[in-house]
């Protein structure tokens, strides 16, 4: 099992290009099930979750062709279609559930494994099932699989999500594209990745319109057109590199990314003392010599502070000049990185869903264990400013969501090696 060896402390400087967004690419790839014609997707990140989704599409009968160093993929539908999404593929990622909506919409039946992914909370699939049921899907759960059918095409409906859910919003929008009539979904998630999905579908002939802040109207169509589309940049990767520059008093030019997507995060980094300039598809960031503390950062649904950057900011605040706090309101089990940060020397107290972080912490290298995708990258960040050598185990979590992260880090001055 691969691990990282990092020798600190390091100061990041230079430039880094941001990869395509995994969280935008996955629902877009799942939605290609709706198409009869070929689809070309560009700017794909080469990460494990994308590979898994493409294997899943291939298992359904899609023909997959790669171009441009596998960053571009052409998906052509085979006339012989399978409707079985196996546990062996879906177990490693939550996004496996996103094939359910398009399979029911297109083929009126599906057998889909309950999903896997990071162990960071319940992430119930009920939000998906309740919305799809309102569209006309019937289902039973047997031995870990969702056995779903619909009598004829799905039918347009009005539905309000009981909780804001990114995945359930995506699944429902995709399914409603081929439903008969008009669907109105309320209390939707509005992450940029969802807007990227709706831009993609509309470009192919779908009729999707946002009619309120969290309300979307979908008029069903009979088919979608062949299309070439480029996936948006990864805002969590961009945010992670911004934290790296701030944490190490570094100088970094972040390329191939729209800074408008992370304005809240950049505002927080300015508060802790970073100097930031934004240009067209570029961000220049200079980290401070002394990091200022921040009280009460709270993770919330977009456009607020994202849970996927919580662990990275916690590392940053360990080096601040006073006490800080972070409240996690999205997932109930997303402080698993705290125990590992304590091994480096962090002084963090957990009270319910709130972390109180003592500043002015000196980190010392240690052997560490990754627990999920974002926790893994937080440990990498901490190792950058630790004195001595750190070993980070179970980095397969990182490979699920960050494209060639060690290569990018090496280019900006980090002493990092992958050990097999």
> Is the distance from CB of 408 to CB of 16 less than 8 angstroms?
yes
d(CA 394, CA 383): 15
Q: Which residues are catalytic?
A: 118
d(CA 303, CA 195): 12
Q: What values do phi and psi take at 44, rounded to 5?
A: -75, 135
d(CA 387, CA 360): 14
> Is the distance from CB of 303 to CB of 266 less than 8 angstroms?
no
Neighbours of 387 (CB within 10 A): 14
> Is the distance from CB of 356 to CB of 383 less than 8 angstroms?
no
Neighbours of 265 (CB within 10 A): 22
d(CA 1, CA 20): 26
Residue 319 tokens, joined: 């080096």
> Is the distance from CB of 117 to CB of 94 less than 8 angstroms?
yes
d(CA 147, CA 205): 30
DSSP assignment of 105-161: HHHSEEEEEPP----SS---THHHHHHHHHTT-EEEEETTEEEEE-SSS-B--EEE-
> Is the distance from CB of 220 to CB of 183 less than 8 angstroms?
yes
Q: What values do phi and psi take at 413, rounded to 5?
A: 105, 10
Residue 346 tokens, joined: 């962090």
d(CA 220, CA 116): 31
């Amino acid at each position: 099992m691969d691990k990282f060896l990092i020798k600190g402390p390091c100061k990041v400087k230079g430039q880094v290009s941001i990869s395509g967004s995994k969280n935008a690419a996955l629902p877009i790839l799942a939605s290609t099930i709706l198409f009869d014609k070929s689809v070309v997707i560009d700017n794909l990140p080469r990460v494990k979750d994308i590979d898994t989704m493409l294997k899943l599409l291939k298992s359904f009968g899609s023909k997959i062709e790669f171009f441009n160093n596998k960053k571009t993929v052409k998906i052509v539908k085979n006339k012989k279609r399978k409707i079985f999404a196996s546990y062996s593929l879906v177990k490693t990622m939550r996004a496996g559930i996103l094939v359910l909506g398009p399979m029911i919409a297109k083929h009126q039946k599906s057998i889909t494994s309950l999903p896997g992914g990071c162990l960071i909370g319940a992430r119930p699939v009920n939000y998906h099932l309740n919305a799809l049921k309102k569209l006309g899907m019937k289902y039973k759960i047997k031995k870990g699989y969702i056995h779903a059918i619909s009598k004829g095409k799905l039918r347009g409906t009005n539905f309000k999500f009981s909780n804001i859910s990114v995945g359930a919003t995506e699944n429902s929008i995709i399914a409603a594209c081929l439903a008969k009539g008009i669907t109105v979904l309320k209390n939707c998630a509005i992450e940029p990745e969802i807007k990227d999905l709706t831009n993609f579908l509309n470009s192919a002939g779908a009729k999707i319109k946002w009619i309120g802040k969290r309300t979307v109207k979908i008029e069903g169509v009979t088919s979608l057109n062949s299309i070439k589309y480029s996936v948006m940049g990864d805002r969590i990767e961009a945010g992670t590199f911004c934290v790296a520059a701030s944490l190490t008093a570094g100088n970094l030019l972040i390329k191939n990314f729209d800074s408008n997507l992370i304005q809240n995060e950049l505002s927080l980094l300015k508060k802790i003392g970073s100097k930031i300039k934004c240009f067209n598809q570029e961000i220049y960031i200079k980290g401070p010599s002394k990091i200022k503390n921040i009280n009460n950062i709270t993770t919330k649904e977009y456009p607020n502070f994202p849970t996927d950057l919580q662990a990275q900011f916690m590392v940053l605040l360990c080096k601040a000049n006073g006490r800080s706090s972070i409240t996690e309101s999205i997932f109930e089990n997303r402080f698993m990185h705290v125990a590992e940060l304590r091994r480096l020397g962090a002084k963090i107290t957990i009270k319910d869903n709130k972390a109180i972080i003592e500043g002015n912490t000196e980190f010392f290298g240690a052997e560490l264990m990754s627990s999920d995708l974002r926790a893994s990258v937080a440990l990498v960040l901490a190792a950058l400013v630790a004195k001595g050598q750190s070993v980070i185990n179970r980095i397969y979590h990182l490979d699920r969501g960050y494209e060639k992260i060690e290569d990018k880090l090496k280019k900006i001055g980090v002493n990092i090696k992958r050990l097999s």
